[in-house]
Amino acid sequence: MALLEVNEVSVRFGGLQALDGVTIDVDEGQVTGLIGPNGAGKTTLFNVITGLQPPNTGSVIVAGTDITLSKPHRRARLGVGRTFQRLETFGSLSARDNVLVAAEMRRGWSSESFDPGALADELIERVGLSAVANEIVDTLPTGTARLVEVARALASKPKVLLLDEPSSGLNETETHALGAMLRELAADGLAVLLVEHDMSFVMGACDHIHVLDFGRVIAAGTPGDVQANRDVRAAYLGSDDGDGAGEEAARAAGAEPDLPVISVAEAARPLHTAAPDGQGAIELRGVRAGYGTIDVLHSVDLHVAPGQVFALLGPNGAGKSTTLKVASGQISPSAGTVLIHGHDVTDSSADALARDGVCLVPEGRGIFPNLTVTENLRMATYTGTPFKVVQERAFERFPRLKERRKQVAGTLSGGEQQMLAMARALATDPKVLLLDELSMGLAPLIVEELYEVVKKIAESDVSILIVEQFAHEVLGVADVAAIMLHGRIEFTGEPKEVGAALDRAYLGGSVSD
Protein backbone atom coordinates (compact mmCIF):
# COMPACT_ATOMS: atom_id res chain seq x y z
CA MET A 1 0.00 0.00 0.00
CA ALA A 2 1.26 3.48 -0.87
CA LEU A 3 1.51 5.55 2.32
CA LEU A 4 2.72 8.57 0.33
CA GLU A 5 1.27 9.57 -3.05
CA VAL A 6 2.59 12.55 -4.99
CA ASN A 7 0.33 13.25 -7.96
CA GLU A 8 1.23 15.49 -10.93
CA VAL A 9 3.13 18.01 -8.79
CA SER A 10 4.58 21.03 -10.58
CA VAL A 11 6.59 23.92 -9.13
CA ARG A 12 7.80 26.97 -11.03
CA PHE A 13 10.21 29.62 -9.75
CA GLY A 14 9.80 32.51 -12.18
CA GLY A 15 11.04 31.18 -15.51
CA LEU A 16 12.45 27.97 -13.98
CA GLN A 17 10.32 24.84 -14.05
CA ALA A 18 11.69 23.06 -10.98
CA LEU A 19 9.14 20.22 -11.01
CA ASP A 20 7.02 19.25 -13.98
CA GLY A 21 4.12 16.86 -13.38
CA VAL A 22 5.96 14.63 -10.89
CA THR A 23 4.09 11.52 -9.76
CA ILE A 24 5.65 9.04 -7.32
CA ASP A 25 4.43 6.51 -4.74
CA VAL A 26 6.19 5.42 -1.56
CA ASP A 27 4.93 2.08 -0.29
CA GLU A 28 4.55 0.89 3.27
CA GLY A 29 7.31 -1.49 4.25
CA GLN A 30 9.74 -0.32 1.58
CA VAL A 31 12.78 1.93 1.24
CA THR A 32 12.23 4.03 -1.88
CA GLY A 33 15.05 5.97 -3.50
CA LEU A 34 14.81 9.39 -5.17
CA ILE A 35 17.91 10.10 -7.22
CA GLY A 36 19.01 12.42 -10.00
CA PRO A 37 21.77 14.83 -11.00
CA ASN A 38 22.31 18.17 -9.27
CA GLY A 39 19.39 20.51 -9.91
CA ALA A 40 16.99 17.70 -10.79
CA GLY A 41 14.40 18.89 -8.24
CA LYS A 42 14.85 16.36 -5.44
CA THR A 43 14.99 18.81 -2.52
CA THR A 44 12.18 20.88 -4.03
CA LEU A 45 10.00 17.76 -4.05
CA PHE A 46 10.90 17.08 -0.40
CA ASN A 47 9.88 20.65 0.43
CA VAL A 48 6.55 20.18 -1.34
CA ILE A 49 5.85 16.97 0.57
CA THR A 50 6.68 18.56 3.94
CA GLY A 51 4.84 21.84 3.28
CA LEU A 52 7.81 24.17 2.96
CA GLN A 53 7.07 24.81 -0.74
CA PRO A 54 3.51 25.06 -2.12
CA PRO A 55 3.06 23.38 -5.51
CA ASN A 56 1.61 25.26 -8.47
CA THR A 57 -0.36 22.15 -9.39
CA GLY A 58 -0.79 18.61 -8.06
CA SER A 59 -1.52 16.93 -4.75
CA VAL A 60 0.20 15.18 -1.84
CA ILE A 61 -1.62 12.38 -0.02
CA VAL A 62 -0.42 10.60 3.15
CA ALA A 63 -2.21 7.43 4.28
CA GLY A 64 -5.30 8.45 2.31
CA THR A 65 -5.43 12.04 3.62
CA ASP A 66 -4.89 14.93 1.20
CA ILE A 67 -2.32 17.21 2.87
CA THR A 68 -1.62 19.48 -0.11
CA LEU A 69 -2.86 22.58 1.73
CA SER A 70 -1.79 21.55 5.24
CA LYS A 71 0.77 23.51 7.26
CA PRO A 72 4.14 21.81 7.94
CA HIS A 73 3.38 21.16 11.63
CA ARG A 74 0.04 19.58 10.69
CA ARG A 75 1.83 17.27 8.23
CA ALA A 76 4.26 16.23 10.94
CA ARG A 77 1.36 15.28 13.19
CA LEU A 78 -0.23 13.33 10.34
CA GLY A 79 2.90 11.22 10.00
CA VAL A 80 5.49 12.98 7.84
CA GLY A 81 9.03 13.14 9.25
CA ARG A 82 12.20 14.35 7.56
CA THR A 83 15.88 15.14 7.86
CA PHE A 84 17.70 17.89 5.94
CA GLN A 85 20.63 18.03 3.55
CA ARG A 86 22.19 20.64 5.83
CA LEU A 87 22.15 19.59 9.47
CA GLU A 88 19.30 21.07 11.50
CA THR A 89 20.18 19.83 15.00
CA PHE A 90 20.30 21.70 18.31
CA GLY A 91 24.07 22.02 18.47
CA SER A 92 24.33 23.06 22.12
CA LEU A 93 22.27 20.07 23.34
CA SER A 94 23.39 16.49 23.80
CA ALA A 95 22.45 13.79 21.31
CA ARG A 96 19.89 12.37 23.74
CA ASP A 97 18.37 15.79 24.47
CA ASN A 98 17.93 16.45 20.75
CA VAL A 99 15.80 13.32 20.53
CA LEU A 100 14.07 14.08 23.82
CA VAL A 101 12.92 17.49 22.52
CA ALA A 102 11.04 15.78 19.69
CA ALA A 103 9.63 13.12 22.04
CA GLU A 104 8.37 15.77 24.49
CA MET A 105 6.76 17.72 21.65
CA ARG A 106 5.04 14.60 20.45
CA ARG A 107 3.62 13.97 23.94
CA GLY A 108 2.19 17.49 23.83
CA TRP A 109 -0.04 16.85 20.84
CA SER A 110 -0.42 13.05 20.77
CA SER A 111 -3.28 11.22 22.44
CA GLU A 112 -0.93 8.33 23.24
CA SER A 113 0.47 7.80 26.71
CA PHE A 114 4.24 7.17 26.74
CA ASP A 115 7.45 8.09 28.55
CA PRO A 116 9.43 10.57 26.38
CA GLY A 117 12.68 9.71 28.14
CA ALA A 118 12.26 6.00 27.52
CA LEU A 119 11.41 6.66 23.87
CA ALA A 120 14.51 8.84 23.47
CA ASP A 121 16.72 6.13 24.98
CA GLU A 122 15.17 3.47 22.75
CA LEU A 123 15.80 5.51 19.60
CA ILE A 124 19.34 6.46 20.63
CA GLU A 125 20.13 2.77 20.98
CA ARG A 126 18.37 1.86 17.75
CA VAL A 127 20.45 4.21 15.60
CA GLY A 128 23.68 3.24 17.36
CA LEU A 129 24.33 6.41 19.37
CA SER A 130 24.44 4.99 22.90
CA ALA A 131 28.20 5.66 23.21
CA VAL A 132 27.74 9.38 22.47
CA ALA A 133 24.27 9.92 23.94
CA ASN A 134 25.48 12.56 26.39
CA GLU A 135 27.92 14.29 24.04
CA ILE A 136 27.11 17.80 22.79
CA VAL A 137 26.05 17.52 19.15
CA ASP A 138 28.35 20.33 17.99
CA THR A 139 31.33 18.24 19.14
CA LEU A 140 30.27 15.17 17.15
CA PRO A 141 31.47 14.28 13.64
CA THR A 142 28.95 15.38 11.03
CA GLY A 143 28.09 11.81 10.08
CA THR A 144 27.22 11.00 13.69
CA ALA A 145 25.19 14.20 14.00
CA ARG A 146 23.16 13.05 10.99
CA LEU A 147 22.19 9.94 12.92
CA VAL A 148 21.01 12.21 15.74
CA GLU A 149 18.75 13.92 13.22
CA VAL A 150 17.39 10.55 12.06
CA ALA A 151 16.63 9.52 15.65
CA ARG A 152 14.92 12.85 16.31
CA ALA A 153 12.74 12.41 13.21
CA LEU A 154 11.76 8.94 14.41
CA ALA A 155 10.68 10.36 17.77
CA SER A 156 7.52 11.74 16.15
CA LYS A 157 6.65 8.16 15.11
CA PRO A 158 6.15 9.05 11.43
CA LYS A 159 4.35 6.92 8.88
CA VAL A 160 6.53 8.35 6.11
CA LEU A 161 10.20 9.22 6.72
CA LEU A 162 12.02 11.48 4.25
CA LEU A 163 15.81 11.35 4.47
CA ASP A 164 17.95 13.92 2.61
CA GLU A 165 21.57 12.75 2.18
CA PRO A 166 21.64 10.72 5.45
CA SER A 167 24.94 8.91 4.66
CA SER A 168 26.95 12.10 4.08
CA GLY A 169 29.95 12.02 6.43
CA LEU A 170 29.56 8.35 7.37
CA ASN A 171 32.32 5.84 6.77
CA GLU A 172 31.73 2.57 4.92
CA THR A 173 30.87 0.59 8.07
CA GLU A 174 28.48 3.28 9.34
CA THR A 175 26.81 3.54 5.93
CA HIS A 176 26.26 -0.23 5.83
CA ALA A 177 24.73 -0.08 9.33
CA LEU A 178 22.45 2.79 8.29
CA GLY A 179 21.18 0.81 5.30
CA ALA A 180 20.43 -2.19 7.53
CA MET A 181 18.59 0.08 10.00
CA LEU A 182 16.45 1.62 7.25
CA ARG A 183 15.43 -1.81 6.02
CA GLU A 184 14.50 -2.77 9.60
CA LEU A 185 12.40 0.40 9.97
CA ALA A 186 10.63 -0.36 6.71
CA ALA A 187 9.98 -3.92 7.83
CA ASP A 188 8.15 -2.48 10.85
CA GLY A 189 5.69 -0.74 8.51
CA LEU A 190 7.40 2.59 7.86
CA ALA A 191 7.58 4.07 4.35
CA VAL A 192 11.05 5.55 3.72
CA LEU A 193 11.87 8.00 0.93
CA LEU A 194 15.62 8.44 0.50
CA VAL A 195 17.52 11.15 -1.41
CA GLU A 196 21.16 10.16 -1.66
CA HIS A 197 24.22 10.62 -3.89
CA ASP A 198 26.03 7.49 -2.67
CA MET A 199 24.88 5.10 -5.38
CA SER A 200 26.25 1.96 -3.74
CA PHE A 201 24.18 2.84 -0.65
CA VAL A 202 21.05 3.56 -2.72
CA MET A 203 21.32 0.41 -4.79
CA GLY A 204 21.87 -1.72 -1.71
CA ALA A 205 19.22 -0.18 0.56
CA CYS A 206 16.29 0.59 -1.77
CA ASP A 207 13.51 -1.67 -2.98
CA HIS A 208 12.30 0.81 -5.58
CA ILE A 209 13.87 3.94 -7.11
CA HIS A 210 12.48 7.02 -8.87
CA VAL A 211 14.85 9.10 -11.01
CA LEU A 212 14.38 12.84 -11.54
CA ASP A 213 16.04 14.94 -14.23
CA PHE A 214 15.19 18.59 -14.95
CA GLY A 215 12.12 18.27 -12.73
CA ARG A 216 10.63 15.22 -14.43
CA VAL A 217 10.49 11.53 -13.53
CA ILE A 218 12.52 9.83 -16.26
CA ALA A 219 12.57 6.31 -14.81
CA ALA A 220 11.23 4.19 -11.97
CA GLY A 221 11.80 0.58 -10.97
CA THR A 222 14.09 -1.77 -9.10
CA PRO A 223 17.79 -0.91 -8.67
CA GLY A 224 18.60 -3.25 -11.56
CA ASP A 225 16.01 -1.59 -13.80
CA VAL A 226 17.42 1.86 -13.03
CA GLN A 227 21.04 0.84 -13.59
CA ALA A 228 20.17 -0.54 -17.04
CA ASN A 229 18.00 2.39 -18.13
CA ARG A 230 19.38 4.41 -21.07
CA ASP A 231 17.73 7.67 -19.96
CA VAL A 232 19.17 7.38 -16.46
CA ARG A 233 22.64 6.76 -17.80
CA ALA A 234 22.29 9.77 -20.11
CA ALA A 235 21.13 11.96 -17.20
CA TYR A 236 24.20 11.05 -15.14
CA LEU A 237 26.78 10.64 -17.87
CA GLY A 238 25.52 12.94 -20.61
CA SER A 239 24.33 11.87 -24.04
CA ASP A 240 26.30 9.36 -26.04
CA ASP A 241 25.47 9.37 -29.75
CA GLY A 242 26.98 5.96 -30.38
CA ASP A 243 30.38 7.27 -31.44
CA GLY A 244 31.44 8.32 -27.94
CA ALA A 245 34.39 6.96 -26.04
CA GLY A 246 32.26 5.15 -23.46
CA GLU A 247 30.33 3.11 -26.02
CA GLU A 248 33.41 2.26 -28.06
CA ALA A 249 35.12 1.09 -24.89
CA ALA A 250 32.07 -0.94 -23.94
CA ARG A 251 32.20 -2.76 -27.26
CA ALA A 252 35.95 -3.31 -26.87
CA ALA A 253 35.32 -4.88 -23.46
CA GLY A 254 32.76 -7.26 -24.96
CA ALA A 255 29.73 -5.58 -23.41
CA GLU A 256 26.53 -4.63 -25.22
CA PRO A 257 26.52 -0.83 -25.53
CA ASP A 258 22.93 -0.55 -24.28
CA LEU A 259 23.69 -2.35 -21.00
CA PRO A 260 25.64 -0.99 -18.03
CA VAL A 261 29.33 -1.89 -17.98
CA ILE A 262 30.02 -3.30 -14.53
CA SER A 263 33.69 -4.22 -14.65
CA VAL A 264 37.00 -2.79 -15.75
CA ALA A 265 38.87 -6.05 -15.44
CA GLU A 266 39.91 -5.93 -19.10
CA ALA A 267 40.93 -2.27 -19.10
CA ALA A 268 44.55 -1.75 -20.06
CA ARG A 269 45.55 0.33 -17.03
CA PRO A 270 45.37 -0.78 -13.40
CA LEU A 271 43.64 1.11 -10.63
CA HIS A 272 45.58 4.02 -9.18
CA THR A 273 47.72 4.51 -12.27
CA ALA A 274 51.07 6.03 -11.32
CA ALA A 275 51.59 9.70 -12.15
CA PRO A 276 53.62 10.35 -15.30
CA ASP A 277 57.27 11.27 -15.07
CA GLY A 278 58.18 14.95 -15.25
CA GLN A 279 56.99 18.13 -13.65
CA GLY A 280 53.24 18.65 -13.65
CA ALA A 281 51.26 21.81 -14.24
CA ILE A 282 49.04 20.73 -11.34
CA GLU A 283 50.02 18.08 -8.81
CA LEU A 284 48.25 16.84 -5.69
CA ARG A 285 50.28 14.44 -3.59
CA GLY A 286 48.63 12.54 -0.76
CA VAL A 287 46.06 15.31 -0.24
CA ARG A 288 43.49 15.04 2.51
CA ALA A 289 40.92 17.81 2.88
CA GLY A 290 37.38 18.45 3.99
CA TYR A 291 34.99 20.67 5.89
CA GLY A 292 35.05 20.85 9.68
CA THR A 293 35.21 17.32 11.02
CA ILE A 294 34.38 15.68 7.64
CA ASP A 295 37.26 14.39 5.53
CA VAL A 296 36.14 14.56 1.89
CA LEU A 297 39.43 13.80 0.14
CA HIS A 298 41.47 10.78 1.24
CA SER A 299 45.12 10.74 0.10
CA VAL A 300 44.39 12.03 -3.41
CA ASP A 301 47.21 11.85 -5.97
CA LEU A 302 46.61 13.76 -9.20
CA HIS A 303 48.99 14.83 -11.98
CA VAL A 304 48.07 17.18 -14.83
CA ALA A 305 50.88 17.59 -17.35
CA PRO A 306 51.65 20.97 -18.99
CA GLY A 307 49.26 21.66 -21.85
CA GLN A 308 47.08 18.68 -20.94
CA VAL A 309 43.29 18.48 -20.60
CA PHE A 310 42.54 16.29 -17.58
CA ALA A 311 38.91 15.28 -16.89
CA LEU A 312 38.04 14.40 -13.28
CA LEU A 313 34.77 12.48 -13.33
CA GLY A 314 32.53 10.95 -10.71
CA PRO A 315 29.03 10.99 -9.21
CA ASN A 316 27.68 13.73 -6.97
CA GLY A 317 29.43 13.87 -3.63
CA ALA A 318 32.59 12.12 -4.83
CA GLY A 319 34.87 15.05 -3.91
CA LYS A 320 35.47 16.57 -7.35
CA SER A 321 34.63 20.18 -6.48
CA THR A 322 36.60 19.91 -3.25
CA THR A 323 39.62 18.87 -5.32
CA LEU A 324 39.29 22.05 -7.39
CA LYS A 325 38.95 24.16 -4.25
CA VAL A 326 42.20 22.68 -2.94
CA ALA A 327 43.96 23.27 -6.26
CA SER A 328 42.75 26.89 -6.38
CA GLY A 329 43.65 27.72 -2.76
CA GLN A 330 40.09 28.02 -1.45
CA ILE A 331 40.60 25.11 0.94
CA SER A 332 43.85 24.26 2.72
CA PRO A 333 44.51 20.51 2.85
CA SER A 334 44.89 18.88 6.24
CA ALA A 335 47.67 16.71 4.79
CA GLY A 336 49.60 16.37 1.57
CA THR A 337 51.13 18.78 -0.94
CA VAL A 338 49.82 20.92 -3.80
CA LEU A 339 52.24 21.99 -6.55
CA ILE A 340 51.71 24.32 -9.51
CA HIS A 341 54.42 23.97 -12.17
CA GLY A 342 56.72 22.43 -9.56
CA HIS A 343 56.26 25.12 -6.90
CA ASP A 344 54.77 24.15 -3.54
CA VAL A 345 51.60 26.24 -3.14
CA THR A 346 49.98 24.19 -0.36
CA ASP A 347 49.58 27.19 1.94
CA SER A 348 49.03 29.83 -0.75
CA SER A 349 45.85 31.89 -0.71
CA ALA A 350 43.29 31.84 -3.52
CA ASP A 351 44.04 35.43 -4.55
CA ALA A 352 47.81 34.76 -4.68
CA LEU A 353 47.26 31.74 -6.93
CA ALA A 354 44.88 33.73 -9.15
CA ARG A 355 47.54 36.39 -9.65
CA ASP A 356 50.03 33.65 -10.51
CA GLY A 357 47.84 32.33 -13.31
CA VAL A 358 45.54 29.76 -11.66
CA CYS A 359 41.97 30.53 -12.67
CA LEU A 360 38.81 28.78 -11.46
CA VAL A 361 35.42 28.91 -13.17
CA PRO A 362 33.21 27.67 -10.31
CA GLU A 363 30.07 25.60 -10.40
CA GLY A 364 27.18 28.04 -10.71
CA ARG A 365 29.31 30.36 -12.91
CA GLY A 366 30.09 33.00 -10.26
CA ILE A 367 29.15 36.03 -12.33
CA PHE A 368 27.82 39.30 -10.88
CA PRO A 369 24.12 39.09 -11.88
CA ASN A 370 23.32 42.76 -11.23
CA LEU A 371 26.17 44.05 -13.41
CA THR A 372 26.21 44.27 -17.20
CA VAL A 373 28.37 42.02 -19.37
CA THR A 374 30.86 44.87 -19.82
CA GLU A 375 31.00 45.56 -16.08
CA ASN A 376 31.58 41.86 -15.37
CA LEU A 377 34.49 41.85 -17.80
CA ARG A 378 35.94 44.96 -16.19
CA MET A 379 36.26 42.96 -12.95
CA ALA A 380 38.89 40.80 -14.72
CA THR A 381 41.35 43.71 -14.86
CA TYR A 382 42.45 43.06 -11.26
CA THR A 383 45.53 41.20 -12.55
CA GLY A 384 46.66 44.25 -14.47
CA THR A 385 45.39 43.27 -17.92
CA PRO A 386 44.12 46.42 -19.71
CA PHE A 387 40.34 46.55 -20.07
CA LYS A 388 40.60 46.92 -23.84
CA VAL A 389 42.54 43.66 -24.03
CA VAL A 390 40.04 41.92 -21.75
CA GLN A 391 37.16 42.92 -24.02
CA GLU A 392 38.97 41.97 -27.22
CA ARG A 393 39.80 38.50 -25.92
CA ALA A 394 36.28 37.94 -24.60
CA PHE A 395 34.46 39.06 -27.73
CA GLU A 396 36.83 37.17 -30.04
CA ARG A 397 36.10 33.86 -28.27
CA PHE A 398 32.41 34.59 -27.59
CA PRO A 399 30.96 36.92 -30.26
CA ARG A 400 27.52 36.58 -28.67
CA LEU A 401 28.74 38.50 -25.62
CA LYS A 402 29.55 41.51 -27.79
CA GLU A 403 25.89 41.60 -28.82
CA ARG A 404 24.89 41.41 -25.13
CA ARG A 405 27.58 43.74 -23.74
CA LYS A 406 25.07 46.23 -22.27
CA GLN A 407 22.72 43.55 -20.93
CA VAL A 408 22.51 42.79 -17.20
CA ALA A 409 24.25 39.43 -16.67
CA GLY A 410 21.45 37.98 -14.57
CA THR A 411 19.08 38.24 -17.53
CA LEU A 412 21.33 36.23 -19.87
CA SER A 413 20.52 32.63 -20.74
CA GLY A 414 22.34 29.91 -18.81
CA GLY A 415 24.67 29.26 -21.74
CA GLU A 416 25.47 32.95 -22.13
CA GLN A 417 26.21 33.25 -18.42
CA GLN A 418 28.64 30.33 -18.69
CA MET A 419 30.27 32.03 -21.68
CA LEU A 420 30.67 35.20 -19.62
CA ALA A 421 32.24 33.29 -16.73
CA MET A 422 34.72 31.64 -19.08
CA ALA A 423 35.43 34.85 -20.96
CA ARG A 424 36.23 36.67 -17.73
CA ALA A 425 38.53 33.84 -16.64
CA LEU A 426 40.35 33.58 -19.96
CA ALA A 427 40.83 37.33 -20.20
CA THR A 428 43.45 37.03 -17.44
CA ASP A 429 45.58 34.79 -19.69
CA PRO A 430 45.77 31.91 -17.17
CA LYS A 431 48.45 29.23 -17.15
CA VAL A 432 46.15 26.78 -15.37
CA LEU A 433 42.37 26.70 -15.91
CA LEU A 434 40.04 24.88 -13.50
CA LEU A 435 36.49 24.26 -14.78
CA ASP A 436 33.74 23.03 -12.44
CA GLU A 437 30.64 21.44 -14.02
CA LEU A 438 30.81 23.42 -17.26
CA SER A 439 27.72 21.71 -18.71
CA MET A 440 25.39 21.93 -15.70
CA GLY A 441 21.86 22.96 -16.65
CA LEU A 442 22.73 23.70 -20.28
CA ALA A 443 21.27 22.42 -23.53
CA PRO A 444 23.44 19.89 -25.45
CA LEU A 445 24.12 22.31 -28.32
CA ILE A 446 25.41 24.97 -25.90
CA VAL A 447 27.58 22.39 -24.14
CA GLU A 448 29.03 21.32 -27.49
CA GLU A 449 29.81 24.96 -28.30
CA LEU A 450 31.54 25.50 -24.96
CA TYR A 451 33.69 22.42 -25.36
CA GLU A 452 34.77 23.61 -28.78
CA VAL A 453 36.16 26.65 -26.96
CA VAL A 454 37.88 24.35 -24.46
CA LYS A 455 39.59 22.56 -27.37
CA LYS A 456 40.92 25.86 -28.69
CA ILE A 457 42.11 26.93 -25.24
CA ALA A 458 44.03 23.67 -24.87
CA GLU A 459 45.79 24.33 -28.15
CA SER A 460 47.20 27.57 -26.68
CA ASP A 461 49.24 25.57 -24.12
CA VAL A 462 46.92 26.15 -21.14
CA SER A 463 46.73 23.25 -18.68
CA ILE A 464 43.09 22.41 -17.95
CA LEU A 465 41.54 20.40 -15.13
CA ILE A 466 37.83 19.83 -15.76
CA VAL A 467 35.41 18.48 -13.20
CA GLU A 468 32.29 17.08 -14.82
CA GLN A 469 29.35 14.89 -13.94
CA PHE A 470 28.18 14.59 -17.57
CA ALA A 471 31.11 12.54 -18.70
CA HIS A 472 30.58 11.82 -22.39
CA GLU A 473 30.76 15.49 -23.35
CA VAL A 474 34.17 15.97 -21.76
CA LEU A 475 35.76 12.67 -22.83
CA GLY A 476 35.88 13.92 -26.40
CA VAL A 477 38.29 16.74 -25.50
CA ALA A 478 40.29 15.17 -22.65
CA ASP A 479 43.79 13.74 -22.99
CA VAL A 480 43.53 11.87 -19.69
CA ALA A 481 40.56 11.12 -17.43
CA ALA A 482 40.06 9.78 -13.92
CA ILE A 483 37.12 8.52 -11.88
CA MET A 484 36.78 9.74 -8.31
CA LEU A 485 34.62 7.86 -5.79
CA HIS A 486 34.22 8.57 -2.10
CA GLY A 487 37.09 11.05 -2.08
CA ARG A 488 39.61 8.79 -3.80
CA ILE A 489 40.93 8.51 -7.36
CA GLU A 490 39.87 4.97 -8.24
CA PHE A 491 40.81 4.79 -11.90
CA THR A 492 43.01 6.80 -14.28
CA GLY A 493 43.57 6.25 -17.97
CA GLU A 494 42.87 7.34 -21.51
CA PRO A 495 39.31 8.57 -22.16
CA LYS A 496 38.23 5.36 -23.92
CA GLU A 497 39.41 3.25 -21.00
CA VAL A 498 37.69 5.45 -18.46
CA GLY A 499 34.50 5.37 -20.51
CA ALA A 500 34.27 1.62 -20.01
CA ALA A 501 34.12 2.03 -16.23
CA LEU A 502 31.67 4.91 -15.97
CA ASP A 503 28.28 3.21 -15.75
CA ARG A 504 29.24 1.13 -12.76
CA ALA A 505 30.97 4.07 -11.09
CA TYR A 506 27.98 6.39 -11.37
CA LEU A 507 25.12 4.00 -10.76
CA GLY A 508 26.77 1.30 -8.66
CA GLY A 509 29.33 3.16 -6.59
CA SER A 510 32.43 1.26 -7.75
CA VAL A 511 34.51 0.65 -10.87
CA SER A 512 34.88 -3.10 -10.46
CA ASP A 513 32.89 -6.05 -9.17
Q: Name all domains of the chain by residue range, CATH numbers in brackets.
A: 2-237 (3.40.50.300), 307-329+347-508 (3.40.50.300)
Higher pLDDT among residues 226 and 445, named by residue: 226
Structure confidence at residue 249 (pLDDT): 36
Distance, in Å, from the CA atom of 419 to the CA atom of 376, rounded to the nearest integer, reads 12
- Return the number of other C-beta atoms located less than 10 Å from residue 31's C-beta: 26
Region 325-344: mean pLDDT is: 93
List, for residues 55-94, the tens digit of each pLDDT value.
Answer: 999 999 999 999 999 999 999 999 999 988 777 889 899 9
CA distances from 215 to 10, 18, 207 (A): 8, 5, 22
List, for residues 457-493, the tens digit of each pLDDT value.
Answer: 888 888 999 998 667 778 888 999 998 888 889 889 8
Structure confidence at residue 495 (pLDDT): 87
Higher pLDDT among residues 5 and 295, named by residue: 5
Region 280-305: mean pLDDT is: 88
Q: What angle do CA 82, 87, 92 make, to 5 degrees?
A: 115
What one-character-per-residue DSSP string does 88-144 give?
A: ---TTSBHHHHHHHHHHHHHHH-SS---HHHHHHHHHHHTT-GGGTTSBGGGS-HHH
Predicted confidence (pLDDT) at residue 252 exceeds the cutoff of 50: no
| Helix residue ranges, H only, 167-240 | 172-187, 199-205, 223-228, 230-237
pTM, 2 dp: 0.66
List, for residues 2-19, the tens digit of each pLDDT value.
Answer: 899 999 999 998 777 899
Give the CA dihedral 125, 171, 156, 96, nearest 10 degrees.
Answer: 50
Predicted confidence (pLDDT) at residue 155 exceeds the cutoff of 50: yes
Structure confidence at residue 512 (pLDDT): 56
H or E, element range at 399 = helix 399-403
**Residue 490: which residues within 8 A CB-CB, separation 6 or more?**
271, 272, 483, 484, 505, 510, 511
Q: At what angle do helices 495-508 and 245-252 cross, to 10 degrees?
A: 90
Q: What is the DSSP letter of 276?
A: P
Distance, in Å, from the CA atom of 102 to the CA atom of 90, rounded to the nearest integer, reads 11
State whether residue 504 is helix, strand or coil.
helix
Give the CA dihedral 461, 435, 333, 501, nearest 10 degrees.
Answer: -100
208-213 vs 57-62, strand pairing mode: unpaired
Distance, in Å, from the CA atom of 281 to the CA atom of 467, rounded to the nearest integer, reads 16
